[in-house]
Amino acid sequence: MKIELSLITTGVITIMVLITAYSAAPQVNDSFSPYVDLDGQITLPTNFKENWTFLGAWTLPGNKDDGMHIVYTEPGVVKKFKETGNRFPDGAVLIKEVRSIKSEAMTTGANVIHAENETLWFVMIKDTKGRFSDNPNWGDGWGWALFNAGDPSRNVSTSYKKDCLGCHIPAKQTDWIYTRGYPVLK
């Protein structure tokens, strides 16, 4: 009897510890995106360079946003984009990785530009349902985030209207995305 009672007590304590650990952990909004918690906080996905679809790249030499802008999306998003009449599906994630650039003379040309170090990442997550209207980094159908290379665990955007939207105004007609730079979407 003592052994059974001891086993029951141990089982109850184990369950209580697991419940406490689960409730203390940040809750992810699994039904929407694994990169968004229940408050709409966005995290930077990992391994996207190896496992995601390359959409395209931009180079802005000599501009205030100097660098190589390399854009990725999750597997399956391009197919859904084409099937839905050129609309990004709910939950689609786009990542723009910005890298510093270097120009040098090579055998292929006098002024060859190539990507160097990561400087930052922009993350956009499509939200067709307006799930996080109280979060200033969500609006106009997207969640918006900015991560610096020095600390990729922290979204430094405080408001998509202040920190993000200005650069996307020319792309308003294409759902805030410069789709013309992504040949795979055509």
**Residues 120-160: tens digit of each pLDDT:** 999 999 999 999 999 999 999 999 999 999 999 999 999 99
Helix, strand or coil, per DSSP, at residue 138: strand
Q: Is the pLDDT of residue 11 over 70?
A: no
Helix, strand or coil, per DSSP, at residue 183: helix
What are φ and ψ of residue 115, in 5° steps? -75, 150
d(CA 87, CA 80) in angstroms, rounded, equals 8
Q: What is the CATH number of the domain that holds 173?
A: 3.50.70.20
Across 18-27, 91-100, 165-174, least confident range? 18-27
Under a CB-based contact definition with an 8 Å cutoff, are residues 147 and 156 in contact? Answer: yes
User: Is 85 part of any domain?
Assistant: yes
Instruction: Quote the pTM value.
Output: 0.81
Identify which of 114, 102, 110 has the alpha carbon closest to the alpha carbon of residue 57: 114
pLDDT computed for residue 34 by the predictor: 94
Q: Is the pLDDT of residue 117 over 70?
A: yes
User: Is 9 part of any domain?
Assistant: no
Q: Is the pLDDT of residue 18 over 60?
A: no
* End-to-end C-alpha distance for the chain, whole angstroms: 72
Six-digit token pair at 146? 């900015």
User: Is 8 part of any domain?
Assistant: no
User: Is 140 part of any domain?
Assistant: yes
C-alpha pair distances (Å), 56 with each of 42, 59, 89, 101: 23, 11, 19, 16
pLDDT computed for residue 83 by the predictor: 95
Position of tokens 């909004």? 29
User: Is 149 part of any domain?
Assistant: yes
d(CA 18, CA 114) in angstroms, rounded, equals 49
User: Is 13 part of any domain?
Assistant: no
Domain that includes residue 90, residue range: 27-185
pLDDT computed for residue 7 by the predictor: 45
pLDDT computed for residue 3 by the predictor: 56
User: Is 150 part of any domain?
Assistant: yes
Q: Is the pLDDT of residue 178 over 50?
A: yes
Judged by phi (left if over 0) then psi (alpha if -120 to 50, else beta), residue 115 lies in beta
Q: Tens digits of per-residue pLDDT, 70-107?
A: 999 999 999 999 999 999 999 999 999 999 998 899 99
Taking the C-alpha atoms of 75, 114, 164 and 50 in order, what is their torsion angle to the nearest 10 degrees?
20
Q: Is the pLDDT of residue 22 over 80?
A: no
Q: Tens digits of per-residue pLDDT, 53-62?
A: 999 999 877 7
Count of domains for the chain: 1
What is the DSSP code (8-state) at residue 44?
-
Six-digit token pair at 131? 């799930």
User: Is 12 part of any domain?
Assistant: no
pLDDT computed for residue 112 by the predictor: 87
